[in-house]
Amino acid sequence: MIKSLAISLGLTLSKSAFTRLVTLTNYDADANSRDFVNGQKTASLLSNKQKRLLKTLADIVLPVSDSPSASEVGADHFVEYAVNQLFSEDDQEHFLKGLMTFDNMYTAFIMSDGPTQKNIITHIDGDAFKPANSENPSDILRFYTLFKQCLLLGYFTSESVMTGFLNYHPVPGRYDPKVIVNESSLLFVTN
């Protein structure tokens, strides 16, 4: 299911990344337990400032619309969880280095107004997924690519999005050959 979801979202997962993502069954987006894995307190690699920056970035990439924002469903906490628990040491290093570079280059990013923030992220997003930048990406582009992949995965696999907006059914339902499908029908996702 994760593989088909990744394909439908346009994500590419290596075998090692896919293996790490399969371990997500221990993830809990509840704000009171997000620092715990299997009952053990975990140390976060991110400072509070970096967590606020990730939350701001998450809400710019996936803002409130007819569906909830990324932070409303806990996708920003999922990114933090992925960095702390799922990333290899190499990916953690690149993520943190890119996050620090982004923070240094755009020191007033969090204090900026919404349109300025959106313009910065739109520019980075446009550069991050260009084929010319895939061979030797900058620290910021590598960070942003990892961030966006985790954010989208965390968002689209959250319970509220899966059940409220994607019409997810964990097991096949009854056979109903006369389902009316039109433009206002919800997207159907199943495993």
90-to-21, 50, 131 alpha-carbon distances in Å: 16, 19, 22
- In the chain, where are the structural domains located? 49-59+74-171+183-191
Distance of CA 4 to the CA centre of its chain: 16
Write down the pLDDT at residue 46. 87
Q: What are the structure tokens assigned to 190, written together?
A: 């199943």
Q: 24-80, pLDDT tens digit by residue? A: 434 444 443 345 445 555 678 888 889 999 999 999 999 999 889 999 999 999 999
pTM of this prediction?
0.67
List, as one string, the DSSP characters of 4-43. HHHHHHT----HHHHHHHHGGGG----TTTTTEETTEE--
